[in-house]
Amino acid sequence: MEQQLIDWLVARLGGDPRLDVPNGDDAAVLRPPAGRRTVFCTDMLCEGVHFPRAPDYDPRAVGHKAIAVNLSDVAAMAGCPEAAVVSVSLPREGGQRIGEALLEGMLAIAERFEMPLVGGDTTSWDGPLAVNVAMLGSVAAGRVWRRDGCRVGDVVLVTGAVGGSLAGRHLAVEPRVDEARLIAEAFTVHGAIDISDGLALDLSRMMQASGCGAELDLAAVPIHADAVAASKRDPAGGTPLMRALGDGEDFELLISLAADDAERLLEAIAAGRLAGWPGTPLTAIGRVVAGHGLVAVAEDGRRSSLPPTGYQHAFT
């Protein structure tokens, strides 16, 4: 029954010193960090879209992803996660087991980033599993990263490698919270976005918001091994590069910095001078230019228009 699940959830969540009113009341009361601005984001995951249909999904993996994709959004703003609330619509059949496993997956990653889950809502129905997380974060005043701050002459960098995420990496999201924090503490980032729908599509969104264009060095794009494997399994789905540009669900960070700062950042990471850097690759893949849209620059220097491929939800 619902009350039994709620009682178990409240007991499992425990408390946190940042809360004036803890879990179990009509709402939690959080103490905002002094001198910082509030970051707020939310993401919904739906069975059959963001994870496989039953019985082919692991609720723990779904719980992990539900928290991780919101952490990725907070990272893209240079924020620090502070708290999250979770709403779930559980299938009537097996709902207790699914709900408990979901929470275990959520808590494992939330505890890694020292972020409490402070409440939410549970319902049951005869439909598929749906999970929504709303997350609060904080960022130092005047230090937030935005999509619309890219400047002509900036270098565009990406964390990690991209493409082929649907082989399973889309459920094992690794949010780049620590990487964003370390970069933000030492360098001025002009523009930032996380790659949820595809490198090309999300880069085009950042350029559109900034009123600029971008040149992308195709040979520099870090292609994940999953994209190579997926292309071998299904050549009709595109080359590894095409998958890297458009598959989405990578949840890596795209950032733009002044050319000098980008060079210093890459040198600091290569030399081990950025204390605490977790070893995540950071790669320069292009530059911000005047104009609009994306231009692909091939290894031989040939240039062509680059369509903003990626995933978009369809409506009728």
Q: pLDDT grade, residue 9 (50/70/90)? A: low
- For residues 183 and 30, give the distance between their C-alpha atoms in angstroms, rounded to a whole number: 27
**Final residue before a domain boundary, out of 102, 117, 140:** 140
Q: Which domain holds residue 292?
A: 147-306
Q: Where do we find the tokens 């091994």?
A: 225
pLDDT digits (tens, 9 = 90+) for 196-238: 999 999 999 999 999 999 999 999 999 999 999 999 999 999 9
- For residues 232 and 238, give the distance between their C-alpha atoms in angstroms, rounded to a whole number: 9
Residue 312 maps to a domain = no
Q: What is the pLDDT of residue 12?
A: 74
Q: What is the pLDDT of residue 32?
A: 81
For the entire predicted model, the pTM comes to: 0.93
> Has residue 312 got a pLDDT over 60?
yes
- For residues 295 and 255, give the distance between their C-alpha atoms in angstroms, rounded to a whole number: 17
Residue 313 maps to a domain = no
> Has residue 155 got a pLDDT over 80?
yes
Residue 226 maps to a domain = yes
Q: What is the pLDDT of residue 181?
A: 97
Domain harbouring 123, CATH code: 3.30.1330.10
> Has residue 11 got a pLDDT over 90?
no
Residue 97 maps to a domain = yes
Within 10 angstroms of residue 123's Cβ, the number of other Cβ atoms is: 11
| pLDDT, mean of residues 62-70 | 98
Q: What is the pLDDT of residue 26?
A: 79
Residue 11 maps to a domain = yes
**Who contacts 15 (Cβ-Cβ below 8 Å, separation ≥6)?**
22, 23, 116
Residue 123 maps to a domain = yes
Residues 171 and 116 in one domain: no
Residues 85 and 185 in one domain: no
Residues 157 and 265 in one domain: yes
